[in-house]
Amino acid sequence: MGIFSSKSFATKTICVGNLSVGGTGKTPMIELLVRELSGKYKVAILSRGYKRKSNGFLLSNEQTSVEDLGDEPFQLKSKFPDITVAVDADRRNGVTQLRQKIKPDVILLDDAFQHRKVKPGLSILLTSYDNLYVNDWYLPTGNLRDSKREASRANVIIVTKCPVNLTSSEKDKIRASMNPKSHQKVLFSYLSYNKELKGTALSLDALKGKKVTLVTGIANPVPLEKFLRLEGISFEHLKYKDHHFFTDQEIEFLKSKDCILTTEKDYVRLKSKIIGLHYIEVKHEFFDNNDERLKNELAEFMITTS
């Protein structure tokens, strides 16, 4: 409305976010951007660090823990140790600190679409196929935490977690329902799970016939449940709230389980407390060469003058 100001920075900034509360695949999208950009540019990631036990601006190092950073930033730092990861609820201050201390070529703003103190150079809006923002409603009735009109700020809208057999006519119908602006690209992706488990050197097939306990503390575990059932894995599912920090009593209970399979985000909170954990990696895959369209958008953005 023009009452408060949004600040632009000379340093390239790319925002990844959503209009709803969680569950759209932001962290795998940040990972995709890191892989695409880090070979060519000095990349930094700035996150709020949700539910972390520290305050203010914090720059990660070898001593910072998952409690200091929060689970998702810690996951990113663990996977990409050469990338700068910082947390700050005040995104404007966080960008300023990174520019002074690190001087990156590009800053990835994780889950910052609704934080309008910073005006990013490129905005990527994610919306889940099974809960499109155009069909959603506002909290507490629905899951929207921001106005649907704000989607117009996005340069790229990615419909995530689509079924792998999504048809062209369904894509056209979804695209039409969004009524994108002329400058906006609407892309479609699905989740791809790595059948080679991490944490321990086993394949997913090795879990068949075992008493598997799936432990999740994520916003939307349904796609993972569906994938495991399609792969013939039988499991009990212990569901916890998103970003859940496990109590000592819960840890002791989990230690009594024969075989625990978890997500990468949950793994970083559990690995120091439970031996023999298996976790499954996930990434975005795109339909119809949509990944090339995203790469071209990134390349064009990075070579333009701010």
Annotated binding site for ATP, which residues?
20-27
Q: CA-to-CA distance for 240 and 227, rounded, in angstroms?
A: 19
Amino acid at 222: V
Q: CA-to-CA distance for 259 and 280, rounded, in angstroms?
A: 13
Q: Is the separation of the CB atoms in 64 and 47 below 8 Å?
A: no
Give SS3 for 273: coil
State the residue for tokens 């024969």.
258
- Binding-site annotation, residues: 20-27
Q: What is the DSSP string of 65-90?
A: -HHHH-HHHHHHHHH-TTSEEEE-SS
List the Cα angle 138/141/145 in 5-degree steps: 30
Q: Which candidate, 113, 132, 114, places its Cα nearest to that of 124?
A: 113
Q: Which candidate, 300, 258, 129, 268, places its Cα nearest to that of 198?
A: 268
53: left (phi over 0), alpha (psi -120 to 50) or beta: alpha
